[in-house]
Amino acid sequence: MEKFKEKATLALFEKGLITENQFEEIKTYRNLNIFSLNAELKFFLYLSVILFTSGIGILIYENIDSIGHIAILSLLLIVISICFFYCFKHSRGFKREETNFEHPVLEYLVLAGNILTCIFIGYLQFQYKPFGDHYGLATLVPTTVSFFCAYYFDNRSVLTIAITGLAAYIGLSVTPQDIFNDSNNLYASQNLSYSAVILGVLLILWTIYSRRISLKTHFGLVFLTFALHIISIATISNLTNYSTLIWLIFGLMLVGSTYYFYKASYQYKAMSLYVFMIVYAYIGANIFIFRIFENVDFSQMWELFIFLLPAYFVGSIIMFIKLIKNFHKEITA
Amino acid sequence: MIVYDKNRLDNEVLVDEADTLYKGGFISKEQKKIIEKELTVLKSQNNILVRIGFFLLGSLLYGSICAAISLFGLSGEHFFFQICCYIFAIVGFAGTEILANQNYHNHGLDDAFALGALLNVGIAIAVTTDGYEMMIALFVAIAALFLFIRYLHVLSMLVFCFSVTAFLFYVMFEFGDVGKAILPFVAMIFAGIFYFITKKTIQKLKENYYYNGLLLANSFCLVLFYFSCNYLVVRELSGELLGTEVKPGKDIPFALFFYLFTFIVPIFYFFQALKTKDRIMLWLSFLAIAFSIYTIRFYYSVLPIEVALTIGGIVLFAIAYFSIKKLKEKESGLTFKPDRINHSDNFLNAEALVVASTFGIKPEMKTDSPMEFGGGGFSGGGSEGNF
C-alpha cells in the first residue's frame, strides 16, 4: 500500500498540483513510519465499558434476591462515585462550545458512570419503589442525569442515552433495533404517533434554540438525526391508515418534515440526514401514489405496469443521482 | 482486460491521495478543489450510505427488468423456467457492462448488477445440474473472477474467495469419509499457500488496479487459515459431517494440536501485525482472540457469564489504560497519536449508535395488558432495559 501512496504523492508533485515544500513535508512525515493505535485503544476502552456495565447489570439481575440489597446498592454507589470523582476532578467545567478531556480514558469513565447510575436508579425503583407507581418519574430521573452529564462533560454517547430516555417517557422505544421493527406498534396507537411527532418537533426546536444561543452546537446533528427518524417513521406507518383524513394529515406532516430536513441537511452539511430524508420521502411518495390508485381497477392492464416499472426505476435513479450530485457540489463549495 | 479508462483509474488514486493529504492538513482546501477539477475521475460513491441506497435502487431496477422479461416467457412455462436464470444472468452482465462504459465504478448501481448476475449464475447452474454444489461453486467462482478482472469489482473478489473455498470443500466431500477427515488440514495448507501467493503478487504489482481485491483475498486467507483448525469449528464440523459423537471423557483426534492452534495463531497474528504494521491483520487478530475465548467458553463454563463480562471489562480497561499511558508520548513508530495520513477512526463515529442500541432506555409499559406488565423481569417492571 505504502509504495502506491508514495507514488501517488510523487505523481501529484510531478503534475505540479502540490508544491515542493508540501511534497518534502509529506515525505518526512511518511518516514516517521507512524503506526497509530489511537482508534484501536479507544475502541478497547469503549468495549470494556460495555462489557463491564453489562456484566454488572446481569449480576444484579441474577442475584436480585440473594445478595443483600444494601450491599449491592452501596457497591454500585462506590463505583459510581469513583467514576464521577475522577471526571469532575479532571473536567474543565461547563463550556458552551465543544470540549474534551485531556486524557481519553475519562470520556469513557463518564459513560460508565452514567450507565451505572441508570442501573442504580432502576434497581432502586424495582426493589424499594421510591417513586411509587410513577413509572414516568423513574424514567425521567435517569434521563435528567444523562442530559446533565452529556452537557457538562460534552459526551455524545451519553446524549443518545438521554434522548432514548426522553422518548421512553412518552412511551416510545427509539433504540435502533426497535424503531425499525415497529415494536412500538405505531400503526395501532395513533396517540403514540402524535406524541412521537411532537417529540420530534420539540427536538428540532431545541436544536434551533441551542444554535441561536450557541450552546453545544455540535450536538445539533444528534438531535436532528433522532428527530428525522422518529417523525418519518411515525408518519409513514400511519400513511396506511384506512381513514382518508388521518393519512392525509400524516402525509402533510411528512411533506413538512421532508422540507425542513432538506434545508437542515444543507445547513449542517450532513450527508446522513440528506440520504435518510430522501429515502423516507421516496417511500412516502410511493405509498401516496399507491393510495391514490387503490380504488381503481387495474386487473385488465397489470402487464402494462410491469413493463412501465423498469422505466419508473430508471427515472428514480436519474433523479437520485442528480440530487446527490447537487448536494455534493453544495457541501464541498 | 480492464474495461475502464486507465487514465481515469490513475486519476482516481490521485484524487483519493489529495483527499487524505487535505484531511491530514498537508494541503489547503483550494488546492484539493483544483486537483479535483483538473483530473477527470470515475463516477463512484465514497459515502457508504449513498452506495447502499443506490444498491437497493439498482436491485429494484434489475428485479423489474427481470419481471418484465418473465412476462414473455410465461407461456413457455417449464422450458422458460429452465433457462430464465441464464437470461437474468445475461441481463446482469449486460447491465454491468453498460454501467462500466458509463464510468460507474463502486457506485452501488454496478454492485447491484454484478452481484445479481452472480446470484443468477448460481441459481441457473443449480437448476440445470439439479443442485450439484461442486458445479455451482465452480461456475460462480469463474463468473466472479471475470467480474473482478474486467470491472475491478472488489465485492466479486469476496464472492470468488467464498466460492473457491466452497469448491474445495465439495471436492473433498467427493472422497468420502477420508476426505472429510483430512479437510481441516487441506483447508489449512490451501489457505497458507494462497496467502503467500497473493502476498507475492501484491509485492510484484506495478499498477495498483488489482491491489484492493488482492488485499481482500490475502486477508481472506488469514481468516480461513485460523478457522480451518480452530477447535470449535473442527469439532462441530466433524460432528456434522462424519456423524461422530464425542463421548464424555474422550476428545476428537489430534485435540491437542487443535487446541494449541486455536491459541497460538491469534497471538502470532497479533505480534506479526505489530511487527509489520499491518492494520488488517491486527484487527483479524483481535477477532481471532475473541473467537478463541468463545471456543473455550463453548465447552467449559469457566465462569458464569456475568462474572466473565465484568472481569473481562476490567481487564480490557486495564490493558487499554496502560497501553495508552505507554504510547502517549511517542512521536514515531507505534504510537497513540492519531495518524495524519491513515485515519482508521471512522467506526468511532458509530459509537453513539451502538450505545443507544445496547443501553437505550426503553419505555416501562409496552402493552396495556396488566399481566405482562406485572410479570416482566427487570426491564418489564423496572424503569429501564439495560440488557
Q: For residue range B274-293, list pLDDT tens digits in order.
A: 888 888 898 899 999 999 98
Question: Is residue B222 within 8 Å of B272, Cβ to Cβ?
Answer: no
| Inter-chain residue contact B378 with A61, CB threshold 8 Å | yes
pLDDT of residue A1: 59
pLDDT of residue A7: 77
| Inter-chain residue contact A174 with B215, CB threshold 8 Å | no
| Inter-chain residue contact B341 with A30, CB threshold 8 Å | yes
DSSP state of A68: -
pLDDT band at B297 (very low <50, low <70, confident <90, very high): confident
Question: Is residue B154 within 8 Å of B210, Cβ to Cβ?
Answer: no
d(CA A207, CA A223): 7
Nearest to A178 by CA among B373, B361, B352, B52: B361
Instruction: Choose the closest CB to B68 out of A122, A161, A306.
Output: A306
Q: Which of residues 13-52 of A touch B (CB under 8 A)?
A: 15, 17-18, 22, 25-26, 29-30, 32-52
Angle at A319 between CA A315 and CA A325, to 5 degrees: 145
pLDDT of residue B362: 62
d(CA B92, CA B159): 16
The reply to whether A292 touches chain B by the CB within 8 Å rule is no
Residue B130 Ramachandran class (φ > 0 left, ψ -120 to 50 alpha, else beta): left
pLDDT band at A187 (very low <50, low <70, confident <90, very high): low
pLDDT band at B89 (very low <50, low <70, confident <90, very high): very high
pLDDT of residue B309: 87
**What is the percent of chain A with per-residue pLDDT over 90, rounded to a whole number?**
11
Q: Which residue has the higher pLDDT, B36 or A251?
A: A251
Residue type at B385 in one-letter notation: G
Mean of the pLDDT values across residues A30-55?
A: 83
Beta-carbon count within 10 A of A77 CB = 13
Burial tier of A299 (Cβ tally within 10 Å: 0-12, 13-18, 19+) = exposed
pLDDT band at B381 (very low <50, low <70, confident <90, very high): very low
Angle at A160 between CA A159 and CA A166, to 5 degrees: 90
User: What backbone torsions phi and psi does residue A35 show, to the nearest 5 degrees?
Assistant: -125, 95
Instruction: Choose the closest CB to A105 out of B17, B324, B339.
Output: B324
pLDDT of residue B193: 94
Q: Which of residues 3-62 of B touch A (CB under 8 A)?
A: 10, 13-14, 16-18, 21, 24, 26-27, 31, 33-35, 38, 45, 47, 49-50, 53-54, 57-58, 60-61
The reply to whether A75 touches chain B by the CB within 8 Å rule is no
d(CA B121, CA B107): 22
Q: Which of residues 146-175 of B touch A (CB under 8 A)?
A: none
For residue A111, which residues of chain B lie inside 8 Å, CB to CB? 355
Which string of b and e fits B229-264 if b means at least 16 CB within 10 Å?
bbbbbbbebbeebeeeeeeeeeeeeeeeebbebbbe
Grid cell at residue A154: 460534552
* Cα separations in angstroms, B373 against A26, A185, B187, B377: 63, 17, 52, 9
Strand partners for B43: B104
For residue A38, which residues of chain B lie inside 8 Å, CB to CB? 335-339, 345
| Inter-chain residue contact A35 with B334, CB threshold 8 Å | yes
Nearest to A151 by CA among A95, A107, A90, A86: A95
Q: Which residue has the higher pLDDT, A188 or A57?
A: A57
pLDDT of residue B11: 81
Average pLDDT, chain B: 81
Mean of the pLDDT values across residues B342-369?
A: 57
For residue A69, which residues of chain B lie inside 8 Å, CB to CB? none
Closest Cα in chain B to A32: B332
Q: Which of residues 133-162 of A touch B (CB under 8 A)?
A: 135-136, 138-139, 142-143, 156-161
pLDDT of residue B217: 93
d(CA B35, CA B21): 12
d(CA A90, CA A101): 7
Closest Cα in chain A to B13: A8
Strand partners for A36: B335
Question: Is residue A142 within 8 Å of A165, Cβ to Cβ?
Answer: yes
3 state SS for chain B: CCCCCHHHHHHHHHHHHHHHHHHCCCCCHHHHHHHHHHCCCCECCCCHHHHHHHHHHHHHHHHHHHHHHHHHHHHHCHHHHHHHHHHHHHHHHHHHHHHHHCCECCCCHHHHHHHHHHHHHHHHHHHHHCCCHHHHHHHHHHHHHHHHHHHCCHHHHHHHHHHHHHHHHHHHHHCCHHHHHHHHHHHHHHHHHHHHHHHHHHHHCCCCCCHHHHHHHHHHHHHHHHHHCCHHHHHHHHHHHHCCCCCCCCCCCCHHHHHHHHHHHHHHHHHHHHHHCCHHHHHHHHHHHHHHHHHHHHHCCCCCHHHHHHHHHHHHHHHHHHHHHHHCCCCCCEECCCCCCCCCCHHHHHHHHHHHHHHCCCCCCCCCCHHHHHHCCHHHHCCCCCC
CA torsion sign for A227, A229, A232, A234 is: negative
The reply to whether A69 touches chain B by the CB within 8 Å rule is no
Closest Cα in chain A to B361: A165
Residue type at B245 in one-letter notation: E
Question: Is residue A40 within 8 Å of B277, Cβ to Cβ?
Answer: no
Angle at A86 between CA A81 and CA A89, to 5 degrees: 115
Instruction: Choose the closest CB to A56 out of B24, B310, B344.
Output: B310
Strand partners for B104: B43
Grid cell at residue B183: 479437510
- Cα A115 to chain centroid, rounded: 17
User: What tens digit of pLDDT does each residue of B230-269 get?
Assistant: 888 888 888 888 777 777 777 777 888 888 998 899 999 9
For residue B363, which residues of chain A lie inside 8 Å, CB to CB? 139, 167-173
User: What tens digit of pLDDT does each residue of B184-242 get?
Assistant: 899 999 999 999 999 999 888 888 888 889 999 999 999 999 999 888 888 888 888 87
d(CA B169, CA B184): 10
Nearest to B81 by CA among B131, B127, B129: B127
B74 pLDDT more than 90 = no
DSSP state of A184: T
pLDDT of residue B40: 78
| Inter-chain residue contact A177 with B357, CB threshold 8 Å | yes
The reply to whether A188 touches chain B by the CB within 8 Å rule is no
Strand partners for A35: B334
Residue type at B266 in one-letter notation: P
**Most distant CA pair in chain A, distance:** 76
pLDDT of residue B195: 93
Instruction: Choose the closest CB to A55 out of B306, B323, B366.
Output: B306
User: What tens digit of pLDDT does each residue of B131-185 get?
Assistant: 888 999 999 999 999 999 998 889 999 999 999 999 999 998 888 888 888 888 9
CB pairs under 8 A between A and B: 306
Q: Which of residues 209-238 of A touch B (CB under 8 A)?
A: 222
Residue B277 Ramachandran class (φ > 0 left, ψ -120 to 50 alpha, else beta): left
For residue A165, which residues of chain B lie inside 8 Å, CB to CB? 361, 384
Q: Which of residues 297-316 of A touch B (CB under 8 A)?
A: 303, 306-307, 309-310, 312-314, 316
User: What backbone torsions phi and psi does residue B104 show, to the nearest 5 degrees?
Assistant: -85, 130
Mean of the pLDDT values across residues B290-299?
A: 88
Residues whose CB falls within 8 Å of the CB of residue A175, separated by 6 or more in sequence, listed in order: A164, B356, B357, B360, B362
Closest Cα in chain B to A166: B361
pLDDT of residue A273: 87
| Inter-chain residue contact A32 with B323, CB threshold 8 Å | no
- Is-above-0.90 flag for pTM? no
Query: How far from each other are the two terminal CA atoms of chain B, in whole angstroms?
Result: 53
- For residue A248, the distance in angstroms to the closest alpha carbon of chain B comes to 27
The angle that helices B231-242 and B255-276 make with each other, rounded to 10 degrees, is 140
d(CA A46, CA B345): 13
| E strands present in A4-158 | 35-36
d(CA A19, CA A22): 5
Grid cell at residue A118: 441508570
Average pLDDT, chain A: 83
Closest Cα in chain B to A2: B342
Strand partners for B334: A35
Residue located via cell numbers 464424555? B248
The answer to whether ipTM exceeds 0.85 is no
Residue located via cell numbers 489430534? B254
Q: Which residue has the higher pLDDT, B290 or B34?
A: B290
d(CA B125, CA B181): 28
Mean of the pLDDT values across residues A310-317?
A: 89
Optimal mutation site among A4, A27, A31, A48, interface B, most CBs of chain B within 10 A: A48
Grid cell at residue B356: 443507544
Following CA atoms A150, A156, A159, A163 in sequence, which dihedral angle do they give, to the nearest 10 degrees?
160
Nearest to B159 by CA among B146, B170, B171: B146
User: What tens digit of pLDDT does each residue of A105-160 get?
Assistant: 888 888 888 888 888 888 887 777 777 777 777 788 888 888 988 888 888 888 88
For residue B308, which residues of chain A lie inside 8 Å, CB to CB? 55
Instruction: Choose the closest CB to A139 out of B320, B364, B381.
Output: B364
